[in-house]
Amino acid sequence: MSKKKIILIVIVVVLVLLLIPYRKDMLWDGGSVEYKSVLCKYTKVHKLAEGNSGLYEGLKIEFLGLKIFDNTKIVNEGDKPKNDDENCCEGCLCGDTLQLLKNTQTAWTLTEIDSKGEYVYIHNSFINFHGTGKNRFAFFKSDDKAGVNSEIRGNFSVTRNASIVLAPDNSNKEITCKIGEEKDLIAVLECDNDFGIFTLQKEGRLELPSIIKDTVIKTKRIVITGNKNKTITEKEEIDQLVNIINNSKWWTGPTTSPSVMYDMELFDSNKNSIAKIAYTPGHYFTIQINNKYYNLTNYDKELLNSIIEK
């Protein structure tokens, strides 16, 4: 074989090796998967579209940082086969929690349960599964007031009786965790040895909480600021906005966060502020009641926009 052919073969082999993906990352956008090689990046897109109006799906390819192929498009919910579980979508963080924990990188938040049985999340304290390696966990705990930060890393395994066993590095003391009862798509992980309770908010659409319906029905005046400044007092328009909210769903997954275009404040008959709404057409609709935020989806965007812009 000639020297030129040998050089050519070597070049081809090197190029092939540089193009073969060597790493896979799960993106936190609803289920996209990114494959990386030295020269290229391939992204299998599966993420929530703006305003939760559907899903972006397709393939993107970049070569040396330049996009050379992109066939992603929005697939509306009506175009997709119906899932047996209306709260789940293919590729999202839904379905069997134990299988999710086995196979998907997830971050479970350290949580306390208050006297009302509500979850109280401990800021910046969580377990990351698979984030530092396959079947590896990393527990990060932060106490801003005490100025204490701690970290525990190790391996984890799932036993036949569905227990999750954490084996910290440099320690013989194992920690056993169990999957608890799920509520409103919140998965619960209960660990022994005072290690704590951890929760994971999975993606899906839930029925609207009664607190929202019971609150907005009291609306007598709506003040809109931002791209449009107006006050709504007409009963017909108020009823339309209330119906838009009451017919929506509560979205528990990630949302896009552009600059707010419209702020709306709802007042009752006694001129008390009862709710605040942040809205950007095509992106999100967030309602705040009693310092708690709810992202809404499945609402009539055209009717809402016509009320605001009227």
Length of the chain: 310
Query: Among 79, 106, 141, where does a domain finish?
Result: 79
34 falls in which pLDDT band (50, 70, 90)? confident
**Given this model, what pLDDT does residue 75 score?**
63
Whether residue 180 lies inside any domain: the answer is yes
**Given this model, what pLDDT does residue 219 score?**
97
Q: What digits encode the pLDDT tens for the residues 248-304? A: 999 987 776 678 899 999 999 999 999 999 998 877 889 999 989 999 988 888 999
Are residue 191 and residue 222 in the same domain, yes or no? no
Closest CA to 33 of 105, 88, 133, 87: 105
CATH of the domain at 115: 2.40.128.280
Are residue 305 and residue 215 in the same domain, yes or no? yes
C-alpha span between 87 and 195 (Å, rounded): 30
The SS3 assignment for 145 reads: coil
Are residue 142 and residue 185 in the same domain, yes or no? yes
Residue range 32-58: average pLDDT? 70
Residue range 10-28: average pLDDT? 68
Residue range 15-20: average pLDDT? 74
Q: Does residue 38 register a pLDDT over 50?
A: yes
Domain of residue 148 covers 97-201
Whether residue 90 lies inside any domain: the answer is no
Six token digits for residue 194: 């005072």
Are residue 131 and residue 72 in the same domain, yes or no? no
**Given this model, what pLDDT does residue 91 score?**
42
**Given this model, what pLDDT does residue 11 score?**
85
Whether residue 89 lies inside any domain: the answer is no
The DSSP call for residue 245 is H
Mean pLDDT of all residues belonging to the chain: 83
Q: Does residue 206 register a pLDDT over 60?
A: yes
**Given this model, what pLDDT does residue 87 score?**
45
Whether residue 25 lies inside any domain: the answer is yes
28 falls in which pLDDT band (50, 70, 90)? very low
Whether residue 278 lies inside any domain: the answer is yes
Q: What strand order describes the sheet that includes 221-226? A: 205-206, 249-251, 292-297, 284-289, 273-280, 262-267, 221-226, 230-232
Bigger pLDDT: 153 vs 257: 153
Are residue 167 and residue 242 in the same domain, yes or no? no
Whether residue 91 lies inside any domain: the answer is no
Which of 66-80, 175-189, 285-299 comes out lowest in average pLDDT? Answer: 66-80
**Given this model, what pLDDT does residue 55 score?**
64
C-alpha span between 214 and 277 (Å, rounded): 16
Whether residue 279 lies inside any domain: the answer is yes
Q: What digits encode the pLDDT tens for the residues 92-116? A: 455 578 888 888 889 999 999 888 8
Q: What is the CA radius of gyration of the chain?
A: 24
CATH of the domain at 264: 3.30.1490.410
C-alpha span between 106 and 85 (Å, rounded): 21
Whether residue 174 lies inside any domain: the answer is yes
Count of domains observed in the chain: 3
